[in-house]
A and B are shown apart, each in its own frame.
Chain A
Amino acid sequence: MRANCQPWTRWGRKDQHGSLLMEVSLALGLAVIVALIIMRASLLAISGNQWTMMQTLTDAYMTRETALSNRTPLADVIADSSPWPDWASRSEQNVTLGKMPGGRVVQASLTRFRINIPGDPDSEANLNVFRLYSVLKYQIGEKEYVKSRSTLRMQ
């Protein structure tokens, strides 16, 4: 008989039973790999957003620094209680940048100082030039970033 002559054919169907398990296991493994890839991509996208949101908040805060450095009267800029003191008298202050989604308040550290470039009495214009610096330090995750703006004022 055929079945007796070729026993592997007789039980050939039975040999395929294990292949179903193999297929399902393979599918499960593939699904896990796809899940990990998607999760990594999503995490990367979300972490990129975190960086972008901080850039948005710090850029917005720097518009205030630029506006104030342009607007503050020069008499106040060079006064003893100047918002932009000399480099030697500079000090850090904590400032609120805004709020993240969910209402979490974001803070950073602001340092202001000015650099004086005295005028040359021999020159015709004899301008006193002041460069006002605002330096903002903030953190995204473990990393610390610094952003600065400077404004030129003269009299």
Chain B
Amino acid sequence: MKSPPQQAFPDRVATGFTLLELSTAISLMLVLATALVVIMQQHLTFMEMAQRQKFLTNDAPQIGSLLGRIFNQADHYFVYASHDSAIAGDAPMLSGGKAVRLFFYATDQTTKERLIAVDSSGGTTRLKFYTLHLDGSETSWVVSDKISDATFSASEGILAATLQGPNGEEITYSGGAR
């Protein structure tokens, strides 16, 4: 007569799990893993949203503060279609310009000239500040490389810079009412 194993090996301890227990445990772990993936995706979505908002929360206020101080110290200004047309002294325009030529009265009774222009060379759009020297050369520094475009306008007696961000943002800073 065939005996059951536990009778054949009475000292043997049952150490295994039943199929039902294993299936339940694996299912719960799968649910847990799915939940973790969802949490990660949600976190990434929020990170992406925060990144998309970075232009208006971080970059634009810095650019605006800088442009405001520069504009408000300028005595007079002219808006041009581009950096090159500003250098060449072409006819200025009232709106839609990509460069603005700023004139500052210095304490030694001379007039100093500066230029702010949009530079789109090399696949990156930057807002640059140029210092024009007497020998015709120029030096520059980057105001911001976080913009996708910028335009200048001179209407109602004030100078305005409209900045466009990388995600469709648009913001306008004004000044130059001195």
A residues adjacent to B (C-beta < 8 A) = 1-3, 10-11, 13-14, 17, 20-21, 24-25, 27-28, 31-32, 34-35, 38-39, 42-43, 45-46, 49-50, 52-53, 56-57, 59-61, 63-64, 66-68, 70-72, 98-103
Contacts and interface: CB of A to CB of B under 8 A. Distances in A.
A100 B25 CA distance: 47
A45 B32 contact: no
Given A28-B31, A61-B172, A56 B39 contact: no
Contact of B35 (A2, A35, A56): A35
Interface stretch (B78-86, B101-109, B123-131, B161-169): B161-169
A57 B56 contact: yes
Contacts of B156: 68, 71-72
Contacts of A21: 21, 24-25, 28
B57 A52 contact: yes
A1 B177 contact: no
A45 B50 contact: yes
A9 to B, nearest CB: 8
A64 B174 contact: yes
Interface of B: 10-11, 13-15, 17-18, 21, 24-25, 28-29, 31-32, 35-36, 38-39, 42-43, 46, 49-50, 52-53, 55-57, 60-61, 64, 68, 156-160, 165, 167-178
Nearest to A28: B32
A101 B49 CA distance: 9
Given A10-B13, A67-B158, A68-B156, A99 B169 contact: yes
Contacts of B175: 63, 67
A10 to B, nearest CB: 7
A49 B36 contact: no
A63 B13 contact: no
A49 B50 contact: yes
B42 A42 contact: yes
Contacts of A24: 25, 28-29, 32
A53 B177 CA distance: 26
Contacts of B11: 1-3
Contacts of A2: 11
A32 B170 contact: no
Contacts of A64: 158, 160, 172, 174
B26 to A, nearest CB: 9
A28 B18 CA distance: 22
Given A53-B53, A63-B175, A103-B168, A13 B15 contact: yes
Given A67-B174, A98-B170, A101-B53, 6 more contacts: A11-B14, A50-B53, A60-B173, A67-B176, A71-B157, A99-B169
A101 B35 CA distance: 30
Nearest to A20: B25
B57 A56 contact: yes
Contacts of A17: 17-18, 21
B53 A102 contact: no
A2 B167 CA distance: 75
